[in-house]
Amino acid sequence: MSDLTELYQSVILDHNRRPRNKGEMADPDARADGKNPLCGDQITVWLKLDGDVVSDVKFVGAGCAISQASASLMTQAVKGKTRPEVLALFERVHAMVLGKTPAPEGPHGPLGSLAALSGVSRFPVRVKCASLAWHTLRAALENGATVTTE
Ligand code: ZN
């Protein structure tokens, strides 16, 4: 196992054990629910919007470590970003977990800690676990519908 793989695993475990921004939001501007029936992962995402900026984001969820760590990492990454920036980040993360990003970016690359999710590209069944939070976030930004990965 490479050092990078070990580092990524420790990031995932840390975010699963101590999720950031977890908890309900009292007065949200948008929300969406997401499910990954394949694994049993569930998540609800709440957003506070200040014009075009995601000024706050919270989630609650249950499921495997990848799904919950991904949600925690996501909330850290998108807070303070504009809607177009969040959607662009969604595309980058989605490409990364699908293995379409040519080289691992490393923890100091443009995706920062989100690079920890890159390992799932080798496990197709885990891709939906890692992308669930992102699909749910996009749904909250777009229309607040319930999304499912199936
Ligand atoms: Zn899962």
> From ligand 1's centre to the CA of 149, what distance in Å?
11
Query: Can you give the pLDDT at residue 41?
Result: 97
Instruction: State in Å: Cα 98 to ligand 1 middle.
Output: 15
User: pLDDT of 93-146, one tens digit each?
Assistant: 999 999 987 655 666 777 889 999 998 988 888 999 999 999 999 999 987 667
Give the distance (Å) from ligand 1 centre to CA of residue 123.
11
Please give the distance, rounded to the nearest whole angstrom, from the Cα atom of residue 64 to the centre of ligand 1: 4
pLDDT band at 2 (very low <50, low <70, confident <90, very high): confident
Give the 3-state secondary structure of residue 36: strand
Alpha helices in the chain (DSSP H): 3-17, 65-78, 83-97, 124-142
Distinct helix (H) and strand (E) counts, the chain: 4, 4
Among the listed residues 139, 17, 141, the one whose alpha carbon sits nearest the alpha carbon of residue 81: 141
In the reported structure, the alpha carbon of residue 68 is separated from the centroid of ligand 1 by a whole-number distance in angstroms of 8
For the record, the structure tokens of 79 come out as 């807070």
- Mean pLDDT (the chain) is 91
Secondary structure class of 19 (helix, strand, coil): coil
Distance 51 CA to ligand 1 centre (A): 33
Tell me the β-bridge partners of 47: 30, 57
Q: Reply yes or no on whether the pLDDT at 77 is more than 80.
A: yes
- How close is the Cα of 150 to the center of ligand 1, in Å? 13
Dist. CA 84 → ligand 1 center (Å):
27
Q: Please tell me the predicted confidence (pLDDT) of residue 76.
A: 96
* 3-144: CATH, from 3.90.1010.10, 3.40.50.450, 3.30.1330.10, 3.40.50.720: 3.90.1010.10
